[in-house]
C-alpha cells in the first residue's frame, strides 16, 4: 500500500489576492478564475486549505473542487488562536498563509464537501436577498428623516426597485429549491415546524447544508447556539453561546420571535423559562432558537419525525 504523506498548502484569501505558501515560498495570485488556474498549474494537486472570509473564498474553493483537488474551508478564528499559541503576534498575508499551512499539518482537516450547482445558486440568492433587505432597512430609515421633496422621491423610487428585486429573488429561491428533489424534501419538513417559514427554511438550506446529518450538539454549535462551560476549580461562571454562523442566528432570532407567539409548545417553553425559572427574556429567546434548529435537524434527519413544535 502506497502511504504518501499528505501535502497541505495554506492559502490566505483576500478580496483581490490569494497568498499561497508552498515549499517555503510565498506566491501571490489574483482572486479570479485565471488566478486560481495559474495557482493550480504552479502548485499542483495538493490539499488546499482556505479560511472562510465572508464569501471571498468560495470562487477559489469551488474552482479547485471542480478540478478534483482536496479543499478544506476552515474557521479563521481557529487559525488565529493557533498562531497566538505559537507566539506569532504579527499578522501579514504571507504570515497568515504560513500559519494556515502549519495549522493544517497539525490538525489535518477533512476535505470540505463539494456543493451542488443548486446549492451554490441557493447560497448566492439567499445572500443577495439578505443584502437587499439590509438596504431596504437603511432606506426606510432615510425615508423617515427625509425633508426635501426631491430627496424623498429618490428614496421612494429606490425602495420600489428594492421591493421588486426581493420579490424576484424570492421567486427564484423557490424555483431553485423545487429543482432539487432532496432540497425540496428538506424544505417541506423544516416548514412543518411553526415559526420556520419559507425564508428561514431557505436560509437554513443555504448556510447549513449539513442539516439532517448532524447530532443535536453539532447542529446547535454550528448555529452558534450551544452554551459553553466556563468552570475552573470551585468557580462556575455563567454559560455563554459562542461562535457559529452569524446569518443563521439572525434568521433563527426572527423565527423564535414568531414561534413564541404562534407555536403553542414554544410559547409555553418560553413563558416557563421567563416566569417560573426567572431567566432573562433574551436568554429564553436563545433557548427557543436552539430548540427550533434542533427540531429542524431532527425533522430532516428522520422522515417519520413527529413534529410537535
258 and 222 in one domain? yes
Residue 1 lies in a domain: no
CB 15: neighbour CB atoms within 10 A? 9
Torsion angle, alpha carbons of 111, 177, 213, 254, to 10: 110
**Model confidence at 224: pLDDT above 60:** yes
pLDDT at 163: 96
Cβ(48)–Cβ(72) below 8 Å: yes
Residue 226 lies in a domain: yes
193 and 303 in one domain? yes
158 and 228 in one domain? no
* Total domains in the fold of the chain: 3
169 and 56 in one domain? no
C-alpha cell at 107: 490538525
pLDDT at 304: 67
The secondary structure of 54-87 as a DSSP string is: TTTTHHHHHHHHHTT-EEEEE-HHHHHHHHHHTT
pLDDT, tens digit (0-9, with 9 covering 90-100), for 25-37: 888 999 999 999 9
Write down the pTM of the prediction. 0.80
C-alpha cell at 2: 502506497
**Model confidence at 3: pLDDT above 50:** no
293 and 190 in one domain? yes
What is d(CA 133, CA 199) in angstroms, rounded to the nearest whole number?
A: 12
Confidence of residue 18 (pLDDT cuts 50, 70, 90): very high
pLDDT at 306: 58
Cβ(203)–Cβ(196) below 8 Å: no
Residue 3 lies in a domain: no
Percent residues over pLDDT 70 in the chain: 95
Residue whose entry in the numeric block shows the C-alpha cell 450547482: 117
Amino acid at each position: 500500500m502506497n502511504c504518501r504523506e499528505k501535502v497541505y498548502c495554506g492559502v490566505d484569501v483576500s478580496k483581490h489576492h490569494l497568498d499561497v505558501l508552498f515549499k517555503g515560498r510565498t506566491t501571490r495570485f489574483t482572486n479570479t478564475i485565471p488566478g486560481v488556474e495559474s495557482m493550480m498549474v504552479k502548485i499542483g494537486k495538493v490539499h488546499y486549505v482556505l479560511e472562510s472570509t465572508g464569501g471571498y473564498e468560495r470562487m477559489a474553493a469551488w474552482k479547485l473542487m471542480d478540478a478534483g483537488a482536496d479543499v478544506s474551508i476552515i474557521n479563521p478564528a481557529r487559525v488565529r488562536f493557533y498562531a497566538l499559541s505559537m507566539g506569532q503576534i504579527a499578522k501579514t498575508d504571507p504570515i497568515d498563509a504560513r500559519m494556515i499551512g502549519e495549522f493544517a499539518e497539525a490538525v489535518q482537516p477533512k476535505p470540505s464537501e463539494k456543493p451542488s450547482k443548486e446549492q451554490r445558486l441557493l447560497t448566492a440568492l439567499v445572500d443577495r436577498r439578505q443584502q437587499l433587505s439590509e438596504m431596504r432597512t437603511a432606506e426606510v430609515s432615510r425615508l423617515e428623516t427625509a425633508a426635501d421633496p426631491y430627496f424623498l422621491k429618490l428614496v421612494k423610487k429606490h425602495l420600489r426597485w428594492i421591493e421588486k428585486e426581493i420579490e424576484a429573488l424570492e421567486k427564484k429561491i423557490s424555483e431553485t429549491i423545487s429543482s432539487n428533489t432532496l432540497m425540496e424534501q428538506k424544505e417541506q419538513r423544516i416548514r412543518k415546524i411553526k415559526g420556520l417559514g419559507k425564508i428561514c427554511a431557505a436560509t437554513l438550506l443555504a448556510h447549513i447544508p449539513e442539516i439532517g446529518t448532524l447530532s443535536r450538539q453539532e447542529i446547535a454549535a454550528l448555529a452558534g447556539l450551544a452554551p459553553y462551560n466556563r468552570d475552573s476549580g470551585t468557580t462556575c461562571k455563567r454559560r455563554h453561546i459562542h461562535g457559529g454562523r452569524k446569518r443563521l442566528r439572525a434568521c433563527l432570532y426572527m423565527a423564535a420571535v414568531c414561534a413564541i407567539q404562534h407555536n403553542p409548545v414554544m410559547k409555553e417553553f418560553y413563558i416557563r423559562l421567563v416566569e417560573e425559572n426567572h431567566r432573562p427574556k433574551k436568554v429564553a429567546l436563545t433557548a427557543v432558537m436552539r430548540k427550533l434548529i434542533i427540531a429542524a435537524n431532527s425533522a430532516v434527519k428522520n422522515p417519520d419525525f413527529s413534529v410537535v413544535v
